[in-house]
Chain A
């Protein structure tokens, strides 16, 4: 009986890769079709300019003793216009791994789903879950092969595997960094200020979630390109769980209740002569 492995074949490779085989490294490299045009480099440059300024967002993730906390805002902006306040920037790759979205929404959504597919195939082929290091490496290699072509992705892969909690930063320039605290996007500097100040390795899940929520809230206050709602997820030994999803507009008045400003000048009736 012939084993049907057609599901494992990469639908992107246009040509037959004879050096690869199904389980070789080459089969994992997707080969997307390139556009036919007279000035390919110029076209790529224009596409990159089109995608610039698109990392308007704030996402963060950090490792603590009880797992990984992942948080993000939910605003999508096109230049000055807010195109959506309800974007899901935390992508569920599989039940124990999360990815964050910063940069081009289409790029992030597509490649995270692609990564999810590859992780599942790895599980089926090897009868065990892929590690966070392995998943992030797969993504990093794919992005590196598209380096210079205008993909805009700044993502963090967070998960729990046999070695415990794992957190990697992967971006479209091909960088892959391991670390315990990351924040990505135009509002990341503001989030770092809160995150670095309040971070401790030993925290309860509620405290860690509150820290992440406050960090994202402060970033939405200062950064014009971040806003909407804060979503906070926790990745533990049994997988990820959404901790909270709060509207930032309401959060502000919880942290800083509006004070009635004293009336400075009130017109009084003229005293009777």
Chain B
């Protein structure tokens, strides 16, 4: 198994009408053995910007700590929060700095930009950005996630419907992957509130 499949992960983000949702599974494993079922993969950068990190868990945690550090410095200098597009460029640059010894992570960035416009993007472990208008996926279950999201996604969904769609897509996909699952975690962000929910999934 490759290094990206060592811990197992599934992350997906979807765009709705003036809102976005980002979801991940909750399993931490060491190859086939499950070690934890409450592992956090989606992290907050600021109230309107979240990053989900799939791939090697240790690199995900370290990368998150570095990004929070850089964002805090930015906040001190600029006296405001980073825009999602700027943050995506920051992540991309940080990953490419390690071009010849990369972080084994695939980030999924989701945020609300100017005028409450939702922004999502994903990148590979070297920082190649992929902007999308509808959904982005990453992790060991990414192929199943692509299929599920493609069939379930509709543009301009309201928050409740978006939550339902992303949850079903995530649970259906991780049920076809040995290395991810064991529950789900969904974060739904609108201009006025943030809802986080834990999904009851198959624990096998």
Closest Cβ of chain B to A19, distance in Å, is 47
B179 in contact with A224 (CB, 8 Å): yes
A224 in contact with B178 (CB, 8 Å): yes
> Is A37 interfacial (CB 8 A cutoff)?
no
A227 in contact with B177 (CB, 8 Å): no
A222 to B179, CA, bound (A): 11
Q: Which of B1, B32, B34, B178 contacts A82 (CB 8 A)?
A: B178
- Cβ contacts under 8 Å, B76 to chain A: none
> Which residues of chain A in 213-260 are interfacial with respect to chain B, using CB atoms and an 8 Å cutoff?
220-228, 248-249, 252-253, 258
Chain B contact residues: helix, strand, loop or mixed? loop
Q: Which of A56, A73, A227, A253 contacts B200 (CB 8 A)?
A: A253
A222 in contact with B177 (CB, 8 Å): no
- Cβ contacts under 8 Å, A73 to chain B: 204
> Is B52 interfacial (CB 8 A cutoff)?
no
A-B contact count (CB 8 A): 62
A81 in contact with B177 (CB, 8 Å): yes
Question: B186-204 interface mask toward A, CB cutoff 8 Å, 1 = contact, 0 = none?
Answer: 0000000100001011111
**Nearest residue in B to A221 (C-beta to C-beta)?**
B203
Residues of A within 8 A of B (CB): 56, 73, 75, 77, 79-82, 85, 186, 220-228, 248-249, 252-253, 258, 261, 267
Minimum-distance CB pairs A-B, first 5: A227-B204, A249-B202, A224-B178, A220-B204, A252-B203
A248 to B179, CA, bound (A): 16
Q: Which of A81, A249, A253 contacts B176 (CB 8 A)?
A: A81
> Is B5 interfacial (CB 8 A cutoff)?
yes
- Cβ contacts under 8 Å, A253 to chain B: 200
- Cβ contacts under 8 Å, A75 to chain B: 178, 204
Q: Which of A222, A249, A252 contacts B34 (CB 8 A)?
A: A222
A222 in contact with B1 (CB, 8 Å): no
- Cβ contacts under 8 Å, A81 to chain B: 176-178
A249 in contact with B203 (CB, 8 Å): yes
- Cβ contacts under 8 Å, A80 to chain B: 1, 5, 8, 140, 177-179
**Nearest residue in B to A217 (C-beta to C-beta)?**
B204
- Cβ contacts under 8 Å, B81 to chain A: none
Closest Cβ of chain A to B47, distance in Å, is 11
A233 to B1, CA, bound (A): 34
> Is B127 interfacial (CB 8 A cutoff)?
no
> Is B175 interfacial (CB 8 A cutoff)?
yes
B177 in contact with A258 (CB, 8 Å): no
A267 to B177, CA, bound (A): 36
Residues of B within 8 A of A (CB): 1, 5, 8, 29, 31-34, 140, 175-179, 193, 198, 200-204
Closest Cβ of chain B to A77, distance in Å, is 5
A186 in contact with B32 (CB, 8 Å): yes
- Cβ contacts under 8 Å, B177 to chain A: 80-82
Interface-central residue, A80, A223, A228, A267, by most chain B CB under 10 Å = A80
B176 in contact with A226 (CB, 8 Å): no
A226 in contact with B204 (CB, 8 Å): yes
B1 in contact with A79 (CB, 8 Å): yes
Q: Which of B33, B175, B176, B200 contacts A224 (CB 8 A)?
A: B33
**Nearest residue in A to B174 (C-beta to C-beta)?**
A82
> What are 27 A-B pairs with beta-carbon distances under 8 A?
A56-B178, A75-B178, A75-B204, A80-B1, A80-B8, A80-B177, A80-B178, A80-B179, A81-B177, A81-B178, A82-B176, A82-B178, A85-B175, A220-B204, A221-B203, A223-B33, A224-B29, A224-B31, A224-B34, A225-B32, A226-B204, A227-B202, A228-B204, A249-B204, A252-B203, A253-B200, A267-B193
A85 to B175, CA, bound (A): 9
A85 to B177, CA, bound (A): 11
Closest Cβ of chain A to B25, distance in Å, is 12
B34 in contact with A223 (CB, 8 Å): yes
Given contacts A81-B176, A227-B178, A253-B200, 8 further A-B pairs with CB under 8 A are A80-B8, A80-B140, A81-B178, A82-B175, A221-B204, A223-B33, A224-B34, A224-B179
A224 to B176, CA, bound (A): 11
**Nearest residue in B to A230 (C-beta to C-beta)?**
B204
